[in-house]
């Protein structure tokens, strides 16, 4: 844009950042949030549908910058252009912390590196993309981090000796969990605070609690069959949901907004809250009863509830059935959502490349492994990881919007897979063999290294995979950070990457060459991505042809 009216400032990402700018301008001018916008649905006017926290963070950032700038008018631009990139960079910390908690420091470093170069993350957290994506993903990642810690500390030991279906017995069980599982409850509350902050930045925040609900329901079902207590898990999940609800209610319950029971507001979250309350009450009150009785009770309650929703849908009274089974419309291919690029399924090549093809495959393999370990060996955190990666993959497969939401788990399990591969490569054994063959002189070192590598063939194979993975991830990360409109920049960098390879490897004097001997024309390595992706339409033009060169 670079229009004179904006002081030659510009933002990327389509129309959403510019509406965010309008809201921030209003906040700074009136010291109040923009609730009713006279220019929406002009000339009728309408409600500003966006939660306030992200725009207020940029407004406060502008207030803090004003004293330090020669032109105070520029403060709002610096805040809006810079904060999304800051939020995106900070997201590395909870992802690394989650990986360190469960897979060690080495995997944590790899996870931090992967997400820093992951195209799906970079394209939504760039300088000048003043949308809520990076802000929301930061706090959703923090929420998952604290919830996994809570699950780790919860355990399945019976805290309350006797339970019954009486409400007072349920309240007593909750009190016992708060008394004897303080570390777990503290982390559950912190997870609720993180998700609550996300709810005040994006109405689709329910994607985080919904994934955790799937893992929670599966864990409770397994505990039921194994005669293990789920009270601590149920109380933790109810506590987390309660904290989220209390934080979100002031905004969603605003009289002018009326979003508590709206399909685009808290209605999906209230479904999760109600399901959790029913599961927790039945499994706690009937804990010592035969599992078939407990399962039958839950199945009966579910049948009555869903039958009621279907009847209400048939009579045209409520759309709750569609909200529950279509993800508030994101997974229903209606004509309206067909016009929204982010609600449509992404190109499959784009999906794999957005996480890094090898990283994506490693994450799925590790997710399957963790899901099996969680089901077979009663490891609750592994079950959460398994459900998280497959739920995130399903959502990303069906709607492009959720590719960015899947980046934390892809980085975490991708790093876990890379660490496992490196361990299997047996680097320690190779070093021991090398020392055994002698390292006194340079000739001994060279000969010993050659023999040690020959005796450890898996190291050579894994090293080639690692080389391909890291070079590919670095190239994609660089590519995704360059604006899609900067074709000349991409072309120059692409040619430089081409020239890095020694000419001897492309020499074709004997009728063949080690690498492709074709001269450089156009873009070989870059051009798959670009930071100009936006909610109104994926910038697909510069992707044609480049995705064909993934094989290169």
Is 530 part of a structural domain of the chain?
Answer: yes
483 vs 133, 352, 397, 531, CA distance in Å?
17, 20, 25, 5
Average pLDDT over all residues of the chain: 83
- Global pTM reads 0.86
Statement: residue 337 has pLDDT above 90:
no
Band (541; pLDDT cuts 50, 70, 90) = very low
Is 24 part of a structural domain of the chain?
Answer: yes
Q: Does 198 lie in the same domain as 292?
A: yes
**Parent domain of 486:** 456-549
CA distance 230 to 272: 17
Band (343; pLDDT cuts 50, 70, 90) = low
First to last CA, the chain: 35
Q: Does 136 lie in the same domain as 38?
A: no
Statement: residue 11 has pLDDT above 90:
no
Is 412 part of a structural domain of the chain?
Answer: no
CA distance 394 to 383: 17
pLDDT digits (tens, 9 = 90+) for 269-298: 999 999 999 888 888 877 767 777 777 788
Place of tokens 């660490």: 419
CA-based nearest residue to 233, from 141, 159, 288: 159
Q: Does 237 lie in the same domain as 327?
A: yes
Q: Does 242 lie in the same domain as 386?
A: yes
Q: Which residue has the higher pLDDT, 476 or 96?
A: 96
Q: Which two tokens stand for residue 166?
A: 């009486």
Ordered alpha helix ranges (H), 253-338: 267-285, 291-314, 320-326, 335-338
Q: Does 25 lie in the same domain as 172?
A: no
pLDDT digits (tens, 9 = 90+) for 211-263: 999 999 999 888 888 778 888 899 999 999 999 999 999 999 998 888 888 88
Statement: residue 487 has pLDDT above 70:
no
Inter-residue contact 76 to 122 (CB < 8 Å)? no
Count up the domains in the chain and report the number. 3
Band (364; pLDDT cuts 50, 70, 90) = very high
Q: Does 273 lie in the same domain as 196?
A: yes
Q: What is the mean pLDDT of residues 127-136?
A: 90
Q: Which residue has the higher pLDDT, 398 or 2?
A: 398
Q: For CA atoms 161, 164, 168, 174, give the dihedral sign.
A: positive
pLDDT for the residue 331: 61
CA distance 499 to 465: 22
Is 424 part of a structural domain of the chain?
Answer: no
pLDDT for the residue 4: 65
pLDDT for the residue 543: 36
Q: What is the mean pLDDT of residues 455-484?
A: 80
Last residue of a domain, one of 30, 52, 69: 69
Band (409; pLDDT cuts 50, 70, 90) = very high
pLDDT for the residue 285: 78
CA-based nearest residue to 271, from 317, 336, 313, 322: 322
Is 65 part of a structural domain of the chain?
Answer: yes
Range of weakest confidence among 24-38, 67-81, 374-388, 421-435: 421-435
Q: Does 262 lie in the same domain as 178?
A: yes
CA-based nearest residue to 49, from 255, 203, 164: 203
CA distance 459 to 457: 5
Is 15 part of a structural domain of the chain?
Answer: yes
Statement: residue 446 has pLDDT above 60:
yes
CA distance 27 to 55: 8
CA distance 198 to 87: 12
Band (334; pLDDT cuts 50, 70, 90) = low
Q: Does 387 lie in the same domain as 253?
A: yes
Is 282 part of a structural domain of the chain?
Answer: yes
pLDDT digits (tens, 9 = 90+) for 108-117: 999 999 999 9
pLDDT for the residue 144: 96
Place of tokens 């409400």: 167
Q: Does 394 lie in the same domain as 495?
A: no
Q: What is the mean pLDDT of residues 521-547?
A: 50
Range of weakest confidence among 208-212, 392-396, 420-424, 442-446: 442-446
pLDDT for the residue 486: 64
């Amino acid at each position: 844009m670079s229009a004179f009216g904006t002081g030659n400032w510009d933002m990327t990402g389509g129309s959403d950042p510019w509406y965010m700018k309008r809201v921030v301008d209003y906040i700074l001018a009136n010291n109040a949030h923009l609730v009713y916008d006279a220019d929406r649905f002009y000339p009728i006017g309408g409600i500003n549908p966006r939660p306030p926290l992200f725009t207020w963070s940029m407004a406060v950032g502008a207030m803090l910058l004003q004293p330090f700038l020669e032109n105070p008018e520029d403060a709002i631009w610096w805040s809006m252009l810079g904060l999304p990139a800051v939020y995106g960079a900070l997201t590395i910390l909870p992802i690394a912390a989650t990986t360190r908690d469960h897979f060690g420091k080495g995997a944590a470093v790899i996870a931090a590196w992967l997400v820093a170069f992951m195209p799906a993350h970079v394209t939504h957290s760039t300088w000048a993309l003043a949308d809520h994506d990076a802000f929301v993903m930061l706090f959703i990642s923090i929420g998952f981090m604290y919830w996994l810690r809570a699950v780790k500390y919860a355990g399945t030991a019976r805290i309350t000796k006797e339970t019954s279906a009486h409400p007072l017995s349920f309240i007593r069980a909750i009190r016992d969990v708060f008394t004897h599982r303080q570390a777990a409850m503290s982390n559950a509350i912190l997870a609720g605070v993180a998700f609550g902050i996300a709810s005040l930045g994006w109405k689709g925040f329910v994607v985080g609690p919904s994934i955790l609900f799937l893992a929670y329901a599966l864990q409770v079902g397994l505990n039921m069959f194994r005669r293990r207590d789920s009270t601590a898990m149920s109380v933790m999940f109810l506590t987390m949901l309660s904290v989220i609800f209390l934080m979100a209610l002031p905004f969603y319950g605003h009289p002018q907004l009326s979003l508590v029971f709206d399909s685009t507001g808290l209605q999906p979250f209230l479904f999760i809250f109600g399901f959790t309350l029913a599961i927790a009450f039945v499994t706690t009150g009937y804990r010592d009863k035969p599992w078939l009785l407990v399962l039958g009770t839950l199945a009966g309650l579910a049948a009555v509830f869903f039958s009621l929703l279907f009847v209400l849908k048939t009579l045209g009274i409520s759309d709750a059935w569609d909200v529950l089974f279509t993800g508030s419309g994101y997974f229903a291919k209606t004509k309206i959502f067909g016009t929204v690029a982010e609600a449509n399924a992404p190109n499959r090549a784009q999906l794999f490349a957005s996480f890094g093809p090898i990283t994506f495959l490693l994450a799925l393999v590790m997710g399957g492994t963790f899901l099996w370990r969680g089901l077979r060996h009663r490891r609750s955190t592994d079950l959460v990881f398994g459900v998280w990666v497959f739920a995130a993959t399903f959502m990303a497969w069906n709607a492009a919007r959720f590719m960015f939401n899947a980046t934390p788990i892809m980085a975490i399990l991708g790093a876990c897979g890379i660490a496992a591969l490196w361990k299997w490569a047996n680097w320690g054994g190779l070093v021991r063999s090398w020392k055994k063959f002698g390292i006194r002189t340079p000739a001994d070192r060279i000969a010993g290294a050659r023999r040690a590598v020959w005796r450890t063939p898996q190291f050579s194979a894994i090293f080639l995979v690692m080389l391909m993975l890291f070079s590919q991830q670095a190239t994609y990360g660089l590519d995704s950070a360059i604006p899609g409109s900067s074709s000349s920049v991409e072309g120059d960098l692409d040619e430089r990457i081409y020239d890095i390879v020694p000419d001897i490897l492309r020499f074709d004097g004997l009728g063949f060459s080690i690498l492709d001997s074709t001269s450089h024309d156009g873009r070989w390595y870059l051009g798959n991505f670009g930071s100009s992706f936006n909610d109104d339409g994926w910038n697909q033009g510069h992707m044609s042809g480049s995705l064909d060169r993934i094989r290169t």
